[in-house]
Amino acid sequence: MAVEASSETYEGLVAEGSVLADFWGPQCVPCLALMPAVERLEEGFDGRLKLIKVNASENRRLCLTLRVLGLPTFILYRDGVEMERLTGNPTAADIKSAVVKLVEGGA
């Protein structure tokens, strides 16, 4: 189940394990279109992937700090270290491929 992250909770949520951070906005049509596929990704990895969601319009300072300048943006972390970033218009297949690399240890 995806966890909503904020500026206060973000660092703690990405600190351990394989994490997919989904930066989205309520007015972002591509974000909303990808959301169901992204949420299903977490289910397919049997607890080896944590999905966190960041509403960019509610967490502008965090987005600036992380240099998230466009939506949708997906940042993949392993134990608190950014391993990959997808931005612009990634497809669900692009995101799944990056997650597989992350979880399987190749990212």
Q: Closest Cα partner for 18 from 92, 90, 75, 73?
A: 75
- 8 A C-beta contact, residue 23 and residue 75: yes
Q: Which of 31, 41, 49, 68 is catalytic?
A: 31
3-104 has which fold? Glutaredoxin (3.40.30)
Task: Tell me the pTM.
Answer: 0.95
SS3 3: strand
14-50 pLDDT, tens digit per residue, is: 999 999 999 999 999 999 999 999 999 988 888 899 9
Residue 31 annotated among the catalytic residues of the structure? yes
Q: Closest Cα partner for 54 from 94, 14, 102?
A: 14
State the residue for tokens 């943006």.
73
How far apart (Å, rounded) are the C-alpha atoms in residues 107 and 82?
10
Q: Which of 28, 35, 92, 100 is catalytic?
A: 28
